[in-house]
Amino acid sequence: MAFRFDIGFAKTARASGGLAILLQVAGAQAAGLGEVDPEGVVARAAGVAKFTGKALKSLDVLAPHGAPVDRIVVLGLGEAEKLAAHDWLKAGGAAAAKISRAEKATIHLDAPGVTVTAKNAADFALGMQLGAYSFDLYKTKKSDDDEVKSGKAVKVTIVTATATAARKANDISDAVAEGVILARNLVNEPANVLGPVEFADKARALEKLGVEVDILTEREMKKLGMAALLGVAQGSVRPPRLAVMHWKGGKEKDRPVAFIGKGVVFDTGGISIKPAAGMEDMKGDMGGAAAVIGLMHTLAARKAKANVVGILGLVENMPDGNAQRPGDIVRSMSGQTIEVINTDAEGRLVLCDALWYCNETFKPQFMVNLATLTGAIMVALGSHHAGLFSNDDTLAARLTAAGLATNERLWRMPLGREYDKMIDSKFADMKNTGGRYAGSITAAQFLQRFVKDTPWAHLDIAGTAMGSPTDEINQSWASGFGVRLLDELVRAHYEG
């Protein structure tokens, strides 16, 4: 399902066959050039092609007879003073795209004019793994490239003076890559394969990494009074699940931090059915849950020194004869009643019970929920930022900073009493939609009614979890958005 690399780090490496990738900042010489190109072929080719080392531009040269390697690629890094952390990820993804049928590749990372840290090297390796990802599980006929991708791993040696420290840093990058790829795989899976029960089984599989997992069935959720979540699921023959994952890597006395994901494995809209065009994309309406399970995998795989709870609300929204109707009133676990105006505004009904359960059960330091919740956020922000709503400025600032560090960017949106009034109901405590205007904001206002005074943030990832623009580190329909962002948040502020 992905082009696999066997990545190692070395301070030096003797050039011997295969592909050599050299990095070059603008206005300087490429790394390792003298060793792999003693005849100066690359310099002549660069002059002809007017290659100057601009960011992510490349020069591809077949090595002449007698050269110690078969092929040389020079990859531009751009201006050294403008290099940011995410640029190393993108460079790694660009390098991965250059490795096709090569049996092995040597990458000279220490470009003249730039200081490469161990984290830069690990980020480069992470970019390679993410950029090479593909989802071809259900293709019975594969192209020549696909056959290569599904074969044995390509051996890659990254040559850098920081090799020793880079190996240690890369252990963390490997865990992050695994989490992102898990999230991508789940979002890419078709809904006939991945239902609520099957998704819960994926959560159960984290037990092998030391995560404590509890799966609540429909019967247990009924006892808890989760009628909002269960109302969404009642039109499907596939039973709902609430997957509760607990990683205990911190001190016993430390309260956990908590992440809650919307896991609607397929969303028809229910009785308020969606148009047929594009409905196939609603297999990805569990992108929030995918991000949370990917995060929990990453935290456990890298043995994060934090106590973390991950909760997945897993349902399917279908329009059969037992489906809930517009106008129905349900009682949430909190006791608050909800008038269901639109059955396609279902994600907030799932999340409100999951948030209340999390808060009452675990008393977390904060709660962050992720959801492909509204089309309105895409109207506001497109596919380059996710919407951030929060009742806590410190948490919001930390999330924003983590988004900038990982390039999984967030944009804070407003909350306020005026918006809250838009979801007041004549017949119940609230209604599940506030109308056409400010749709992403009224959805957040709805969720805020179920968090009490606990610091909380809602990330609306409808535009970023699936179908977002491809780039060097993601060529897939599913992006795995949120895994790297939230791992950075935990690592920067809530460990040790």
Measured distance CA(57)–CA(59) in Å, rounded = 7
At which residue do the structure tokens 């009924």 appear?
222
Measured distance CA(337)–CA(316) in Å, rounded = 22
Distance (Å) of CA 147 to CA 51, 143, 156, 184, 212? 32, 6, 19, 21, 38
Q: Give the number of other CB atoms < 10 A from CB of residue 81.
A: 9
Measured distance CA(188)–CA(182) in Å, rounded = 10
Measured distance CA(371)–CA(220) in Å, rounded = 24
Q: Please state the φ and ψ torsions of residue 44, each to the nearest 5 degrees.
A: -65, -40
Query: What's the first-to-final CA gap in the chain, in angstroms?
Result: 36
Q: Give the number of other CB atoms < 10 A from CB of residue 492.
A: 12
Q: Is 105 left (phi over 0), alpha (psi -120 to 50) or beta?
A: beta
Beta strands in 424-493 (DSSP E): 430-431, 456-460
Collect all residues with Cβ–Cβ distance below 8 Å to 72 and sequence separation of at least 6. 19, 20, 21, 22, 36, 37, 41, 42, 60, 61, 63
Measured distance CA(78)–CA(56) in Å, rounded = 7
Amino acid at 365: Q
Catalytic residue set: 274, 348
Q: Is 290 left (phi over 0), alpha (psi -120 to 50) or beta?
A: alpha
**Residues facing 308 on adjacent strands:** 247, 257
Which of 129, 222, 223 minimizes the C-alpha distance to 475? 129
**Residues facing 60 on adjacent strands:** 73
